[in-house]
Chains A and B, each alone.
Chain A
Amino acid sequence: MAAVRDVGFADCRPGGVLAPDLGADVRRGLVMAGGGLKVAYQAGVLQVWLDEARIDDEPLGFVHADGASGGVFNLAMWCQGCSGRAIADNWRRVAPVTRGAAPNLTGTALFSMRRFRTNVLQGIWGLDWPTIRARGAPATFNVFDVDAQRSRTVAPADMTEDLLVAATSLPGWYPPVVIGGRRFIDAVYVTDANLAATVDAGANELWIPWTVSTAGRGRNGPVSQYFQIIEAAANGRLHADLERIAASNEAWARGVPGSFPYPVRVVPLVAEVPIHYLLVFTRRAIARTVELGVTEARRWCVDRPGVTLVPASPPTPPMPGGVRFRERMSGRVRIATDPYARLTVALTATARDVDTLRAGDRRLGLTGQVDCAAFGGRRPVETGELTLLPGTGPSTMEYRLDFTDLVGQPLRLVGVKQVRHDGRLDLWPDTTTLAVTVHRRDVPADPGADPVADGTLRLRAWSFLRLLTTVRGIAPGVGRRVRAVWRFASWFARRLAGIYGAPRARAVDPGFPAGQGPTNAFVVTDNRTTLPVPPERVWAALVDAAGWERFYDNARDVRLDDGGAGLTATTTFRWTTFHTRIRSTVVSFEEGKELGWTWKGPLARGYHVWWLEPDRDGCRVRTVETQRGLVPWVARVLLRRVVTAGHERWLRGLLTGTAPGVVPRVSSDPPGSGPP
């Protein structure tokens, strides 16, 4: 075997082939190499390099930064604009077991990143993806695309939390992350430091804090050997890259263009970090590693000519205390195929900072899923926001969830809880009743068109008790967490007390007579349809009360008190519906537009209204019924279903009762081409 001279870190010393003279044209690139949790050491180094080191009294500037494997955590923080001290302080606060470890119950890997995401990434680190994407820092994240079997570099503008987690999902330990139908994993077996991407981005001096062990020591046992594979892959690839740089630099030294567009200097800081890549159990071990990185980086700077140090910056204040809770609301919505479809939302709400929440910024982030068979089962929420009790007086809780259904239709769910004191004992119903509508996101909101789905979701008492067990503070340290939860809970309680302690206001339900609206009614049903006939024809069928029986089998023995044939603005009539004899009085009567009557039955009363509206296909019909009284309260769960189904039959009956004999005219057709 021929004698081979290995290119290595030794060649980075002055005079080495990896340390060419670049003159004044130095464009630094920062390579945040991977190393599992050993990158805590790298964070310590970054504190010194980014904050304390000076060259010519100037802070170090980096034209590009690259991250792979564990290094992407530091890179993401750097892209967000964190100072070196902030990056290091973030690591000092990580408690790996109590805040991050989660077993994986799906069998796809040993662990799951679920708790690490909520507690660390979204929690104490507070990675803010909109900011990272918008700042557009010059950086590349490395991730491996399993389906394409290729390593990919991703710019910050395209990064998401999913991709970040994917870039650190070490096979076997963590499951691959599925994004847009493709699976992504940690790129460590391909590259643990993408030097070429950094050079291609314009850097000619690569600063590399290298934490992967180069000692080549290994013990027996599968876990130890697993990480030896990683060391072999990472070090092997790094040295191959260094050799390529060396060859390129030698070519440039001879005056011939090398494989890189300019000579490249490599500035490594190599360390044997005394913690494991993954199996670290205490916060203190990580904090000690960060301090080790700080100490060694300072010594390194002192040893390196041209680099001076300024005093350390003060510790960053710990992140403000936030809270997080999970809630699950379920209920029935009307969709085109089913007037009574079940829809469930399971959400995690996160308030990043309780103090700003109290001060007036009432937005909470929402993640989770929307579950409805009509949308294809569980669909993940892409972006979600909860606006919690804005303002100071009576207020709302407004949920906004963007998701996509099974057929690829982008949808938005908007849910509102009206938190205002307008009934007796209405604190519980107000704060647990969510009126939802689902709209398509890809078409402009058309106020005339029916929503994709609308209905009412409820937070059940049992779900509320479960919600209480999921409330968590987000802050480093138990005391701060308890304080965050307390400040949130006390604010919330005081806010509700302020609203419900005030004198009762009158319920306002636009479109309903006073006291008959949906507010505080026990049963509210809402059915809609579009009929291919003009509104006049539907109106004629509606006011002909005696003729209802012809197309609605649930109406019997309709008798008008005045003996007339049709309903007028003041008609009173008796009839049997839902096996109940009731007496109805027309109270709203607007020819061709609105017909509403109040009714009284045994231990029940209510209001039933029809609205007609012309539409391009004919007539849109909506009918709403509200019920009050003892029987509707007792049988409310049953009645919601039964009355909805009954009114659906009524609408179907209107369709079969009015449509035959009418050939619908399609308004968009060219004139003169009526149906044959």
Chain B
Amino acid sequence: MDEPHDLQGEIRDDYDVVVVGSGFGGAVTACRLAQAHRSVLVLERGAAYPPGAFARTPSEISENFWDPSRGLYGLFDLWSFRSLDAVVASGLGGGSLIYANVTLEMPKEWFDGVSGQWPIGYGDLEEHYPAVAQMLGVRCVPQYLAARMPKSAAFDAAAAGYGRPAVAAPVAVTFAPPGHTPGRPVGTRTDNLHRVQRSTCTSCGKCDFGCNEGAKNTLDLTYLSAAVEAGAHVRTLREVVGIGAVPDGDDETYVVRYRTHTLPGPGEPRRRRPRGVVPPTREVRARTVVMGAGAFGTTRLLLANKVTGLPRLSPALGTRFSGNGDAIGFTTGGTREVDSQRGPVITRILRDDDGGFLIEDGGYPSVLGWVGETYQVGLYGRGALLLVQRLWQRLLHRRRSDIGGGVSRVLGPMGVSRSTAPLLGMGMDPGSGTMRLAGDGTWLDLEWSPRGPGTAEYFATVLQAMRGVATGAGVTFRRGPSGLLSRGVTAHPLGGCPMGRSPADGVVDGDGRAFGHPGLFVADGSVMPTAVGANPSMTIAAFAERCARRILDVR
């Protein structure tokens, strides 16, 4: 079987299970249910991005956003609420396409601090972590590649200065074995659903823009490929809009309505959707529906369908939103070479159990380094100086044809990109927000504030620690634009369909099954009743493993 999986292939009228979304929740459940010989359909709204297909050029990036009403079907889905900005992914593999590979368990001590709000125990998650780690090929960033990642050493030094040791980040990346050159082919073409050749990590630092090498063990290359191998139907560019329960005695079946998006062909201009045009929907039926559309996607879908299709959903729907305590800052200045463009985006982790947060070294692709440099006033001054100099030489007829040294002087040390390093914080933000539908059910509204009770203190602690890390390295700390505007920013939205002990405090039970709708399961980040603290992907995947096992038991 050398053909890639037909992502636009037929969709039957009936399946055992329809999985909505292909992120850490959807992909894991789809895989486990398909392996148990259920007929599974995965509906993903975004396109598929095999390694090599991610946008890199400015013109590609400019259209790499998600907004079907404007004919945009790209990877990044950006949300801006009243006091929070968020980025999520829209593509086959969901958040795994753009996350920073960190696959970290939720620390037990942190769980114990909030266990009263969870209907399950830590052991219920812990038992599934090994399976996820095995499927995703999780390993720590290897020591023998340290020379290629100067920022790791810089972060370690800063952490030591702050007084807490940093450890290597466990990441789901395929690295070259010791003694091999990075970027070598790995695996075979037939080990993934795209039928492409993957290669090992080249330390290009573009993890968050999609890995064109295929070194990231994203879900489409791991869980979804296994699901396809087991016979699941995975379909992209199908956006679910409606879910209706059809009562069947004590049980229910479900009608899932979806829209098909059509990418504009090569060379075709993208078209705005004309006013008043409602794209038609199609239907598929299933006895079980698994929601894996993410904290925003799942919550919005369930809120929109609670009125007609799923009226028995709990009134807790939309509550307990958390941005996982994400905070971002930058260290600048100093003489040490950090060079954050080299190496995977996150390589080291500093953990503070007292405050309940992590600080990680950030990275960014080299193009942003260039962008950052263009903000340096001195660059333009030196450029003008060179021009004046050349003009002067021309006037005096002293023409020097070799100007390499001059241009290098103009560029200067490029110290900003060399010494600037993002710091990423996240942790047990105790606050929670509430989502609801607004604007005739067409958009999502979030009530959440970084200055809420508990949240303000939490952010103060994290920023204090970040400042401490910067001081430890002898450099200055800057908060970036979100600090000026007093806004939160998150890449880890959680909650909205929280799990709970009863419909009074949760939308789903400890297995992800919706109260009131026996065949509806939620298996993504939206079920987390509190922040996870650590990067949440592994916890979501572990919960999805648990959810899949429960589905096999009762459906």
Cα-based distance from A151 to B518 in the complex (angstroms): 47
B440 within 8 A of A: yes
Majority DSSP secondary structure for residues of B touching A? loop
Q: How far is the CB of A445 from chain B (nearest CB, A)?
A: 11
Q: Which residue of A lies closest to B240 (CB)?
A: A407
Q: A181 — which chain B residues lie within 8 A by C-beta? A: 277-280
> Is B311 a contact partner of A405 (Cβ separation < 8 A)?
no
Q: Are B255 and A442 in contact (CB under 8 A)?
A: yes
How many Å lie between the Cα of A188 and that of B217 in the bound state?
56
- When distances are taken between beta carbons in the complex, the residues of chain B under 8 Å from A446 are 247
Closest 4 CB pairs of A and B: A407-B242, A377-B440, A668-B251, A659-B502
| Given the contacts A337-B307, A617-B312, A180 and B280 also touching, CB distance less than 8 Å | yes
B338 within 8 A of A: no
What residues of chain A lie closer than 8 Å to B313, measured between beta carbons?
336
> Could you mark each residue 369-399 of chain A with 1 if its beta carbon is under 8 Å from any beta carbon of chain B, else 0?
0000111110000000000000000000000
* CB closest residue in chain B, given A656: B504
Chain A binding surface, main DSSP class: loop
Q: How long is the Cα–Cα vector from A409 to B278 in the complex, in angstroms?
A: 14
Task: Please tell me if the beta carbons of A442 and B504 are within 8 angstroms of each other in the complex.
Answer: no
Alpha-carbon gap, A663 to B500, bound state (A) = 10
Tell whether, in the assembled complex, residue B277 and residue A183 are in contact, meaning their CB atoms are under 8 Å apart.
yes
Give the chain B neighbours of A450 by CB distance below 8 A: 311
In the complex, are the beta carbons of A655 and B553 less than 8 A apart? Answer: no
Cα(A452)–Cα(B241), bound, Å? 18
Q: Which residues from 133 to 151 on chain B have a C-beta closer than 8 Å to any C-beta of chain A?
A: none
B274 at interface by CB-CB < 8 Å: yes
A617 and B516: CB pair below 8 A? yes
Given A377-B441, A407-B304, A452-B307, does the pair A666, B244 have CB atoms closer than 8 Å?
A: no
A158 CB, min distance to chain B CBs, angstroms: 15
Known contacts: A178-B277, A409-B242, A409-B309. The answer to whether A337 contacts B503 by CB under 8 A is no
- Interface pair B309/A337, CB less than 8 Å apart: no
- Not counting A659-B503, A664-B515, a sample of 14 additional A-B residue pairs whose C-beta atoms are within 8 angstroms of each other reads A183-B277, A337-B437, A405-B307, A407-B243, A408-B241, A408-B257, A409-B308, A440-B244, A440-B308, A443-B247, A450-B311, A452-B311, A617-B516, A664-B503
Q: In the complex, which residue of chain B has the Cβ closest to the Cβ of A668?
A: B251
* Alpha-carbon distance A443/B311, docked complex (angstroms): 14
Q: Does B249 contact A (CB under 8 A)?
A: yes
Residue tally, chain B, CB below 8 Å to A:
50
Give the residue of B279, B304, B518 whose beta carbon is less than 8 angstroms from that of A668. Answer: B518
Chain B 501-525 interface 0/1 with A at a Cβ cutoff of 8 Å (1 = within) = 1111100011101011011000000
How far apart are the CA atoms of A121 and B303 in the complex, in Å?
A: 41
- Provide the residues of chain A in CB contact with B511, threshold 8 Å: 675
The docked-state distance in angstroms from the alpha carbon of A659 to that of B503 is 7
Which residues from 515 to 555 on chain B have a C-beta closer than 8 Å to any C-beta of chain A? 515-516, 518-519, 553-554
B308 and A660 form a contact (CB under 8 A):
no
Question: Which A177-201 residues sit within 8 Å CB-CB of chain B?
Answer: 178, 180-183
Q: Which residues of chain B have C-beta atoms less than 8 A from A664's C-beta?
A: 502-503, 509, 515
- Interface members, chain A 408-449 (any B CB < 8 Å): 408-409, 411, 440, 442-443, 446, 449
User: Does B335 sit within 8 A of A, measured CB to CB?
Assistant: no
Residues of B within 8 A of A617 (CB): 312, 515-516
Pairs A–B under 8 Å by Cβ, sample size 28: A183-B277, A336-B306, A373-B441, A405-B308, A406-B440, A407-B257, A408-B242, A408-B281, A408-B283, A440-B309, A443-B246, A450-B311, A532-B502, A532-B516, A617-B515, A655-B315, A659-B502, A659-B504, A660-B501, A660-B502, A660-B504, A664-B515, A666-B513, A668-B249, A668-B252, A668-B518, A668-B519, A675-B510
Q: With A407-B241, A675-B511 given, is the CB distance from A670 to B307 under 8 Å?
A: no
Interface string of A652-676 (1 = CB under 8 A from B): 1001100111111011111001011
Residues of A within 8 A of B57 (CB): none
Within the complex, the shortest CB–CB distance from A407 to chain B, in Å, comes to 3
Query: Within 8 Å CB of A675, what residues of B?
Result: 509-511
Is B58 positioned at the interface, with any CB of A under 8 Å from its CB?
no
A411, closest chain B residue (CB): B308
Question: Contact mask B257-297 → A, CB, 8 Å, 1/0?
Answer: 10000000000000000101111110100000000000000
User: Which of chain B's residues have a CB closer than 8 A to the CB of A337?
Assistant: 303, 306-307, 437
Q: B311 to A409, Cβ gap below 8 A?
A: no
**Chain B 341-353: CB-based contact to A (< 8 A → 1; otherwise 0):** 0000000000000
Residues on A with C-beta less than 8 A from B257 are 407-409
Name the A residues within 8 Å of B274 (CB-CB).
178, 183
Residue numbers in A under 8 Å from B243 (CB-CB): 407
Q: Judging by beta carbons under 8 Å apart, are B250 and A668 in contact?
A: yes
Q: Is the CB of A655 within 8 A of B440?
A: no
Q: How far is the CB of B511 from chain A (nearest CB, A)?
A: 7
In angstroms, how far is the closest chain A Cβ from the Cβ of B404? Answer: 56
A655 touches B503 (CB 8 A): yes
Which residue, A375, A405, A409, A449, has most C-beta atoms of chain B within 10 A? A409
